[in-house]
Amino acid sequence: MKPVLFENVRLIDPASSLDRPGRLLVKDGVIAGTDLPQAEGAPEGADIVDGGGHLVLCPGLVDMRVTIGEPGYEYRETVLSAAKAAVAGGITTIAVLPNTSPTIDNPALARLLRARGEETGMIGILPYGALTRECAGKEMAEIGLLAEAGAIAFTDGPHAIADSRTMRQMLTYARGFDALIVQHPEDPSLARGGCATDGELATRLGLPGIPAAAEAILIARDLRLARMTGGRLHFGHVSTAEGLDLIRAAKADGVRVTCDTAPPYFDLNETVIGDFRTYAKLSPPLRAEADRRAVCAALADGTIDAIASDHMPCDADDKRQPFAVASAGGTGLCTLLAVTLAQVHAGNLGMMDALGLLTHRPAGVLRSGAGTLAAGSAADLCLFNPETGWVVRAGELPGKAQNTPFDGRALEGRVLGTWKNGRRVFGTAAA
């Protein structure tokens, strides 16, 4: 493998608080150093990547909430098509939810997904293990065996554990492995049959509503259970002010809790569904503007630990339905970085903080070694121009799934190159 020398780039590594112009050398698939003197020439035969003084080089992004179709729903997305979309967005590591068919509730499937990621040569896959068999919320899956097989954490994906006794048992048992439990924060009985956030807009559109309090109610219950058991708890795609307030207070009280959100919840609000746009039908549903602002504030104050794409592929037939019956979910791999950078351009986040939410902070939650530019670590890298403008167009995105809630959104920030283990896996003519 040829060495790669990056010159005239802005090196940003939130894991070490590095942010400066510099050079980075890759040898044998690992980072050899980030402090090469300008007088030192390139190794013989090295590929030279010149950032022109304005391109940013950061660790490959770590996306901790991704759904793919394989196995069982390959018509929506395959490992390979998801990998192509991921690297186009600068993502080199994805944590994959277990709600496949069959579900990832046995060790063989966890090993298979890891191997499938390696086969692409483009991404690393960190499989979540199912928390319950078939993600049905009843009988506990083989958490210990799944952990030995490489499951990074345990969840039923888009399904909340509804029964309080069951959730308590899960947290208690997982504590013995110091394993992480990831919960979809939505009370199932309150959400049943709904498709939009309950309120004036849903009423005007004639859509069955889900009260925003459904999120806070389940968060409050599970935080109490986490206090009782001492288990590690993570909430995915948190989207309401009330839910975030509960998590903020629990963190201050020493509860072992973390959370993530996804770009739709800080970049869009419920008005986007006003013309029954099924591409904007998500789970949880888009919220009121006050909640969107609260998510932005929680990103800035550190309450939110990570930004995940919440990538949920649907095919056209899943979405070409009346809004109430269309499938919920949106793609997000190739737009993850650019939508996050909108918070930087708006002045809500610094570049270091924004990239931290996409790299070492999710890696830390999952206890993965990814998301750093430290010497000796795998050369998983993302090169991007933070100022390049582009428009999201459904039907023109990399990968198989095209159901983006950001269709037509103008963004600033474009990935120009992605490297996995020192090998370039995505690149444009501009870099």
Question: Per residue in 40-79, pLDDT tens?
Answer: 777 888 899 999 999 999 999 999 999 999 999 999 999 9
In this prediction the pTM is 0.97
**Beta-bridge partners for 330:** 311
Q: How many helices (H) and strands (E) in the chain?
A: 14, 19
Q: What is the pLDDT, as a whole number, of residue 39?
A: 62
Q: What is the pLDDT, as a whole number, of residue 36?
A: 74
Class of domain 4-57+379-391+412-427: mainly beta
The whole-angstrom separation of Cα 190 and Cα 376 is: 49
Q: What is the pLDDT, as a whole number, of residue 33?
A: 86
Q: What is the pLDDT, as a whole number, of residue 41?
A: 73
Class of domain 59-366: alpha beta
Q: What is the pLDDT, as a whole number, of residue 253?
A: 97
Q: What is the pLDDT, as a whole number, of residue 43?
A: 82
Residue range(s) occupied by CATH 3.20.20.140 in the chain: 59-366
Residue range(s) occupied by CATH 2.30.40.10 in the chain: 4-57+379-391+412-427
What tens digit of pLDDT does each residue of 163-195 get?
999 999 999 999 998 999 999 999 999 999 999
Q: Where are the alpha helices (DSSP H) in 121-208?
A: 143-148, 164-175, 188-191, 200-205
Active site (catalytic) residues: 310
Angle value at C-alpha 309, between 339 and 253, nearest 5 degrees: 100
Within the chain, which residues score under 70 in pLDDT? Answer: 39, 429-431
Cα dihedral angle (25, 30, 32, 38), rounded to 10 degrees? 10
